[in-house]
Amino acid sequence: MLYFCLKEINGKVTSLPQIARETHISEYTLKSCLKKLRQEGLIRYDGRRNCGGRIGFTATTLPQKILLQGNKNRLLRKLQQITQQTLVFTEFLEAPEEPEAAQIEKNHPMDHPMDHPMDHPMDHPMDHPMDHPISCSSSKKLLLQGIVLEAVFEDLSPRSLLPYLDQFETSEELQNFLDMANACVSAAKDGKGKPIQNPHGFLFAQLRAGYINPPEGYKSRKVRAQEARNQQLEEELATLRRLKERERELQFELFVAQLNEEDIARLHREAQAQIKPNIGLSPEFQIERYKDGLLKEWFAQCQPPPQEHPQMPSGAFDNT
């Protein structure tokens, strides 16, 4: 992917974050691939460049025969969805006049799929869901920022969603729609509902319809995040209660260990005074039981009274 992206831009300024956004490959992986391409002599790295205040780099591919190990059609479909215009930095310069060829390029930017040195790919009918030009305001394009494409839509190009962005007001709404579509596909695989042979086709059909019915039990990201937060708080609360109880046990054991001989003698006398004859229990057993009760009473008497929460003044929550 990186080799053919660099081959397409042919020495123009780009950056790994920009390539990562278009290919959905992490910057860490691309950095490793760039290093390997240089080591294998597949590219000539020309170094870092400043383009309109943005720092990128330039690299030129060297012609080599490449043996692909993997799914060729999948690679070509992904490459088709990337254009040179989205990979390179654009530096805006003011000029009084432009040559005719430059004006044509400006009025008709290159939005055609990348030409590849491999065989012609097997186009899938849903890879290009709409043949008419995409019209979408810049503000709507911002909805694509932060969108997570995962599961069956991992290899979906965000550009293919542009014709449908007018349906959504926020990125959260768009993300929820994609998540519901993913949930429908997953439910269909589990035998719940009609089978979905073409997940991408299913998504675009629902986008054209403008609605989607989530499967039973579907939970949005917000709900799942809140559930995870609640579970974390419940675990923290249970841990705090357990630690508080253990703290009280340790304090009681420390209190007993600090009793002097006079306290112990008094404890024995008061326990003896509570012995009840003819109840079927030995005096020794009764003494031990009464000692335990007396120790807990003494311990409670030694504890400081619980602090009362300060009373909130009246009108503290009034909006003034």
Segment 222-271, tens digit of pLDDT: 898 999 999 999 999 999 999 999 999 999 999 999 999 999 999 999 99
Question: What is the span of the domain harbouring residue 269?
Answer: 259-303
Of 211 and 98, the structure prediction assigns the larger pLDDT to 211
Q: Looking at the domain assignment, is residue 156 inside a domain?
A: no
- Predicted confidence at residue 240, as pLDDT, reads 95
Is 117 domain-assigned? yes
Within-domain flag for 243: no
pLDDT digits over 93-146, tens only? 333 444 433 343 334 333 333 444 443 333 333 344 444 444 455 677 888 887
Residues near 66 by beta carbon (within 8 Å), at least 6 away in sequence: 3
Helix orientation angle between 283-302 and 221-257, rounded to the nearest 10 degrees: 120
Residue 25 is predicted with a pLDDT of 86
Q: Are 291 and 268 in contact (CB under 8 A)?
A: yes
Which residue blocks in the chain are alpha helix, DSSP H? 2-9, 16-23, 27-39, 72-80, 84-87, 100-107, 138-141, 171-189, 199-209, 221-257, 261-273, 283-302
Range 44-62 average pLDDT:
84
Residue 312 in domain: no
pLDDT digits (tens, 9 = 90+) for 156-170: 888 899 999 888 989
> Looking at the DSSP assignment, which residues form a beta bridge with residue 51?
54
Show the CA angle centred on residue 90, arms to residues 87 and 96, nearest 5°: 150
- On whether residue 311 sits in a domain, the answer given is no
Q: Examine residue 147 and state whether it is found in any structural domain, yes or no.
A: no
pLDDT of residue 193: 79
Averaged pLDDT score across all residues of the chain = 80
The pLDDT of residue 20 is 87
The average pLDDT across 264-283 equals 90
**pTM of the predicted protein model:** 0.43
How far apart are the C-alpha atoms of 203 and 184, rounded to whole Å?
Answer: 10
User: Can you list the positions of beta strands (E) in the chain?
Assistant: 43-51, 54-61
Tally of structural domains, the chain: 2
Please report the pLDDT score of residue 146 as a whole number: 79
So what's the pLDDT on residue 200? 93
What is the mean pLDDT of the segment spanning 8-26? 87
**For residues 71 and 191, which has the higher predicted lDDT (pLDDT)?**
191
Q: Please report whether residue 195 resides in a domain.
A: no
Which amino acid is present at 14?
A: T
What residues contact 160, with CB distance under 8 A and at least 6 apart? 81, 127, 128, 129, 204
Q: Which two tokens stand for residue 131?
A: 């043949």
| Residues 2/30, Cβ–Cβ less than 8 Å | yes
Identify whether 269 is part of a domain.
yes
Q: pLDDT-based confidence at 90, cuts 50/70/90?
A: low
